[in-house]
Each structure stands twice: as C-alpha cells, then as structure tokens.
Amino acid sequence: MSKLYILLVFVLISMTSCQDNDDLPKTAPQTLFSVNLDNQKFNTDYKKSYIAAYTPKGEFIKYGSLSDSSNWVLSAPYKGDKIDIIFFEIWHQNSLIVNHIKNVNIGQVFTDPNMLNPTPILPGKSIVLEIEDFGNRDGNSTAPSYTYECRPHKHNRGYAHPYGEFLWDKVENGYTYKQINIDPDSKYQGTEIILFERGTNKPYVKHIDIASNSISSGDTITLHKSDFELGETKTVEVNSINNEFNNIFLYTYNSQTDRKDMITSFEDVPNNATEKKIKYVSSTLLPTTFWDFRYFAKNNTTSYTIQTNATIPSAITVQELTGHSLIKNGNKSNFTHSTLFPGKTHARTIFTCSKRINGAVFNYSTLFDTHESIGNSDILPVQIPNEILSMYTDFTALNNTGWQSYSYSQIYTNIPRNSSLDFLKNSLMWVDNNTSNSSYSYETFSIKL
C-alpha cells in the first residue's frame, strides 16, 4: 500500500471526525431576559444605558444597549437557571454607575406598562409677582440673617431652587416684585409663595394655581397680605450619637390626584449650625401629604434618610449601624454585614465601591436581598465590557485603578415589591419605589467604610 494512499485515508478520517464533532449536541441558546421599555427614557444626549448578563461566578455572557433600542431579547447558550444582571449607566460621558443584581432567574421580562405618551413641549410662561411689602426680605427683616425666616420662599413641583428662598427684583411704592418662570402643564400644581411677616416672623402662605386660573405669559399677579393664609413654623430636633454632620435636609410635599407632587417647605441646616434643629412650614392651604428627611454624617458614622406619609415628629433619633467590618484584598472585598435593626421590615442592602481619576468616576453597587444580608459576603466587581470602557478615554485608565472608597446601606420599608430585582425593574421603568397610597415609610441607613 503506497504512502500516498495511507495519507489520503488519514485525511478523510480526520475530516469525518471534525464533522461529527460539529454535529454533537451543544448548549442551545435560550432567553436570558428581554426588555420592552420606553425609548424616551433612555435615548438622551447626556446618558447611555446598558444591561448585561453574567454568570453567578462573574463571567460575562452578553449585553445590550437600551440607548440604541429599548425592545429586544438577550439570548445566549447557557446551561444554568440563574444569572447576575448588571445595569450600566453612563452620565455626561464621565460617570459610570453600575448596579449588580445577584442570582436572578433567567427569562425575566422587563416591560414598561406606563410608556410616556409623546406630548408637545409647551412654552414656559413668565409672570410677574406684585405683592404687598409685608414680609421679611434683604434690607428689611426682623429675622436674623441667613435664617429660614429672613427671606421669601417659592416652591414648585419636585425641587426647590435655590433652597426655595429668593430675592425680590425690586421694591417700589409699598410692593415687592419678582419675575418668575412657570410650567403651564395642567399636571403641575403651580407655585407656592411663603412670606414671613416682619415683626412676628410668622409664615403666610399663598398657592398660585396656574392652570386653574388660566394665567397667561406676561400677566402680573397682584397679591395683598389678605390673600395669604397664616401658617405655622414647626421644628424637628435631630438626636444622634454623632455630633458632626455635613448637612440636614427636610422637605415637605403636597400631593393632589393626577398632579405632580409639589414641595411645600424646604430647609437645610449647614454643618456649622450650633443646634441640630430644622424648621418647616405647615399650613391647611397645602397640607403635608408626605415628607422627606435626610441626615448626612461626617466620616465613619451613620447617615440616615426617611420618606414617609406619617405625621412629622418633633424629634428624630438617628440609629447607628453596628457590627460591620471590611477586609480588602485588591479588587476583592470580604464584608461582614451590619446587624439588622429589629422591628423594621428589611428590604435589601447595598455595598458600593467607587473610584475617580481625571474627573471620571466609577460607582459600583452590589445589591443583597434580606437572606443574603447576614454574615460575610465575598464581593468582586465584574469585568466591565471593553466596548463600554473604550467609549471614553478616562474609563480605560480608571478601570486599571484600584477601588478608593467604600460604603454600605440598609433599606427598610413596608412598601411591597422592594427586593433587589424590584429595584432594577423600578429603575428601568422610572418608578418611584418610595411611594404608596397606604401608610408607608422608606428608610435608608448608610455608612462610609
């Protein structure tokens, strides 16, 4: 038998073996998760969003872009029944926010039942307030400078700027004047004005309902003291083991059916305050529907926030997180969770590590459900896909830098659907997981490690 014949037989056998290997059963592609979300929520010029699947051991499987399309299925060959889901958000081309949801059943469907209906952008309205000069203001006040009562306050939907207080444009013939911009959409409640009466420093409240009063741009709204309702200034005292704090905030809100929530009072206590007391205005004109308190401690002590529709107490005691410890080993961390508070409904905990370089920032949060929030946890952030890192120069350099700071939070709430997976779903749908029609509270205890 010739050597050439033997060589040909060997080649044919080898080719047949390779073909047989290709025909062997392989892991079939399966749906890891699917999304059908509102494209308007992700297609912006200041943010890009991605959602990825990893194995529970941190091995990358596949990812998709929500900014390019918000209706797709992520499929890949996979043998397991659980995955880790990572939600990436890039803000303003320099901040990467990562939320890591552990041990999720495959086949999740992330859908948004409340798609935003495209609405025309209505032009803002500019009006002039002409108000009888009876309230404290710069240059004529009976309240000490830089106090809550020394200036007028204006509140709109969802924010206070700056801190609600403002300066008058002019004072003339017994009236004060201020030009303000307002939103004409009927979903908004308009504007609330609070003036503190000179002499008594008592608050007087007026609600200007733009939509209900058919106010047009360029209108001048003339108000007298008799148009205002007398309110009441109340105080909350903050009791905490920690004597040093960065700041304390208190917001009160009024809710109306089919309208956006409106801030009705806001104050902050700067970190040089001698007393940890914070004020707010209460009125029957716009009663408080819910309130939001935030205490930011310095250094390695507990910060605390609460949002609730319960009655505002006269004092708030900040409980301290205890029992936690952190051992760092390169990018890997071993963390002992803080002791859970008895008598509270625990929802989840969050371990966050962060780093920054040249203005770029990474914040990486790993979420744990209640049963995972006791004892020790080994934490190793996953490798971020190169396609995401390569989008911005500073990201690659930052990815090669070690983690610089760590923090830990515990969330307690009686609001249902607040697990780690629910947190992800609410983030994708822009649902505020702090709200409820029934009696509720949503508390967060956090500490820098």
Token pair of 296 as six digits? 């930011």
On whether residue 306 sits in a domain, the answer given is yes
pLDDT of residue 185: 75
| Same domain? 230 vs 190 | yes
pLDDT of residue 305: 97
Token pair of 179 as six digits? 């030009």
Determine how many CB atoms are found less than 10 A away from the CB of residue 66: 25
| Same domain? 132 vs 193 | yes
Q: Are 182 and 191 in contact (CB under 8 A)?
A: yes
pLDDT of residue 161: 54
Would you give per-residue pLDDT tens digits along the chain (449 residues)?
Answer: 443 343 333 333 333 222 223 333 457 899 999 999 988 888 888 999 999 999 999 999 999 999 999 999 999 999 999 999 999 999 999 999 999 999 999 999 999 877 766 656 666 778 999 999 999 999 999 999 989 999 999 997 765 555 689 999 999 999 999 998 877 777 878 889 999 999 999 999 999 988 777 888 889 999 999 999 999 999 999 998 777 899 999 999 998 888 888 899 999 998 878 888 999 999 999 999 999 999 999 888 999 999 999 999 999 999 999 999 999 998 999 999 999 999 999 999 999 999 999 889 999 999 999 999 999 999 999 999 999 998 888 899 899 999 999 999 999 999 998 999 999 999 998 877 655 668 999 999 999 99
pLDDT of residue 18: 26
| Domain end among 318, 352, 385 | 318
| Same domain? 296 vs 338 | no
pLDDT of residue 120: 60
On whether residue 258 sits in a domain, the answer given is yes
What per-residue string of b and e applies to 157-185 under the rule 16 or more CB within 10 Å gives b? beebeeebbbebeeeeeebbebebebbbe
pLDDT of residue 13: 31
The domain in which residue 427 lies consists of 325-433+440-444
Determine how many CB atoms are found less than 10 A away from the CB of residue 1: 6
| Same domain? 310 vs 382 | no
| Same domain? 260 vs 308 | yes
pLDDT of residue 66: 94
pLDDT of residue 6: 38
pLDDT of residue 273: 82
Segments of 215-359 assigned E as strands = 220-223, 229-230, 232-240, 245-254, 262-270, 277-282, 290-297, 303-308, 315-318, 325-329, 332-336, 346-357
On whether residue 314 sits in a domain, the answer given is yes
Residue with token string 């006791």: 374
Residue with token string 């700056």: 162
| Domain end among 291, 318, 345 | 318
On whether residue 183 sits in a domain, the answer given is yes
Q: Give the CA angle between residues 24, 25, 30 to the nearest 5°.
A: 145
On whether residue 4 sits in a domain, the answer given is no
| Same domain? 206 vs 305 | yes
On whether residue 132 sits in a domain, the answer given is yes
| Same domain? 298 vs 350 | no
| Domain end among 288, 318, 348 | 318
| Same domain? 342 vs 392 | yes
| Same domain? 182 vs 240 | yes
pLDDT of residue 15: 31
On whether residue 63 sits in a domain, the answer given is no
| Same domain? 302 vs 169 | yes
On whether residue 26 sits in a domain, the answer given is no
pLDDT of residue 159: 57
Residue 331 per-residue DSSP state:
T
One-character DSSP codes across 199-246: TT--EEEEEE-TTTTT--TT-EEEE-GGGSEE-EEEEEEEEES---EE
Total domains, the chain:
2
First to last CA, the chain: 78
| Same domain? 267 vs 226 | yes
| Same domain? 333 vs 301 | no
Residue 341 per-residue DSSP state:
P
Q: Residue 27: name the closest of 63, 59, 53, 61 by CA.
A: 61
Q: Residue 115: name the closest of 41, 51, 50 by CA.
A: 41
Distance CA 392, CA 179 (A): 42
